[in-house]
Amino acid sequence: MASKKISMAVIKRLPRYHRYLNYLLELGIKRVSSKELSSRMGITASQIRQDLNCFGGFGQQGYGYNVESLYNEIGNILGINKTFYCIIIGAGNMGQALSNYGNFIKRGFEVIGIFDVNPEVVGKKLKNLEVMNLDSLEEFILHNRVDIAMLCVPYRETATVADRVARLGVKGLWNFSPMDLKIPYDVIVENVHLSDSLMVLGYKLNDKFERE
């Protein structure tokens, strides 16, 4: 796979294509042209064709794209056929919300462990998993394959926990803290900065009202 580098702008659109194709699939639609997908998604047909052609020629001239096979192709590119083993660190509301989010498993993300420090929470069952004490984190990771750690601990703890997890060889961090992690290990971090997103919404609202 000595492919040319694909830009993040393209990658970030893939899950969205995947969702739309899934929707078409559920509607029983068999084929779709870039033009039709374009009008549904509100992006140009040109962009759709460019994006898809980063990964291969999935379409057929004069016909368009087969919905099911394109859905599967994009799924493969995103790796949802593989399983990523995940742990959730911090079993507060956010951690619990993630543990209950059934959509993840459909997309290949399986939660195999949940950790917390709070004695009132440790031992509690969430879904089919018992919350473990954070002290046993090291042991757990040594004995189980863990690809991704989902960090849902309070702000103050995040940097420490992230470092601890990365040191043990976990390769992906999904960070819910409003901070940018800097870790001296070879780790991929994906941030979910909720307050950033909310502030952008606030900006847009202000902007709109001021202009009107």
Partner DNA sequence: TAGATTGTTAATCGATTAACAATC
Q: Residue 16 or residue 30: which is nearer to a second copy going by CB?
A: 16
Instruction: Give the residue ranges of the annotated binding site for NAD(+).
Output: 90-95
Binding site partner of 197, from a second copy, DNA, none, Cβ cut-off 5-8 A by kind? a second copy
Binding site partner of 102, from DNA, a second copy, none, Cβ cut-off 5-8 A by kind? none
Instruction: Select the residue interacting with DNA from 57, 102, 119, 184 (CB under 7 A).
Output: 57
Q: Does 69 bind DNA (CB under 7 A)?
A: no
Antiparallel, parallel or unpaired: β 31-32 and 65-66: antiparallel
Chain contacts with a second copy (rule: CB under 8 A): 1, 11-12, 14-16, 18-19, 41, 77-80, 82, 84, 92-94, 96-98, 100-101, 103-104, 107-109, 147-148, 171-172, 174, 178-180, 188, 190, 192-206, 208-211
Residues that bind DNA (CB under 7 A): 7-10, 33-35, 43-47, 49-50, 52-53, 57-65
